[in-house]
Amino acid sequence: MTPELLDRALVEEAAKKSGLLWVRGVGAPAPRALWHVWHEGAVCLIGDGPGEQPLPELVDGGSAEVTARSKDKGGRLVGWTARVVELAPESEQWQAAVAELKGKRLNAPDGEAMPGRWARECRVLRLEQTGGTLPPPEGSLAEEPLPSPATTREPVPAGLPRLLFRRRRRGRRGR
């Protein structure tokens, strides 16, 4: 087997096994975790609609850097560059991709009406591998998280640890 075929096989296997990919579009400040499906030799994504994942930096004809994580350890497994292709709503290729995506979409608010909503309000993208795999990065890739309206928990009340960890002595006295 040639190195190109081995790279394609590695990318396909990693994308099929991983539940999400880290994708950085051109000009994006940081990669974004996106759920996907592997369909007909490419990663397929749905997004940019109400209740769906955001895909702001991914433009038709542009490029993206994709990283797959290991399913068992969650660490970086393989990275590659991809060409972004936006599928036309209701086209044959769009319908095939949506059939796969529909089966993997968790907690959909509209069930069977989902493909119609996707055709009206969302974008379906294919990320097609354009070359070999990328070399492993050097150094730490730690970055500040993207802004979010989510908040962290409030501090634990001072008396809570005492209530949770005090010993029960009642049952031992009668022995």
Q: Is 171:55 a contact under the CB 8 Å cutoff?
A: no
Residues 113-168 pLDDT 10s: 999 999 999 999 999 999 889 988 888 777 777 777 777 777 777 777 777 777 65
pTM, two decimal places: 0.77
Residues 77-95 pLDDT 10s: 899 999 999 999 999 999 9
Distance CA 42, CA 44 (A): 6
Q: How much is the pLDDT for 168?
A: 57
Superfamily of domain 3-136: Electron Transport, Fmn-binding Protein; Chain A (2.30.110.10)
Q: How much is the pLDDT for 124?
A: 97
**In the predicted model, is pLDDT for residue 174 greater than 60?**
no
Q: Is 130:83 a contact under the CB 8 Å cutoff?
A: yes
- Which tokens sit at 16? 């099929």
Q: Is 84:58 a contact under the CB 8 Å cutoff?
A: yes
Residues 9-58 pLDDT 10s: 999 999 999 888 999 998 888 889 999 999 999 999 999 988 899 998 99
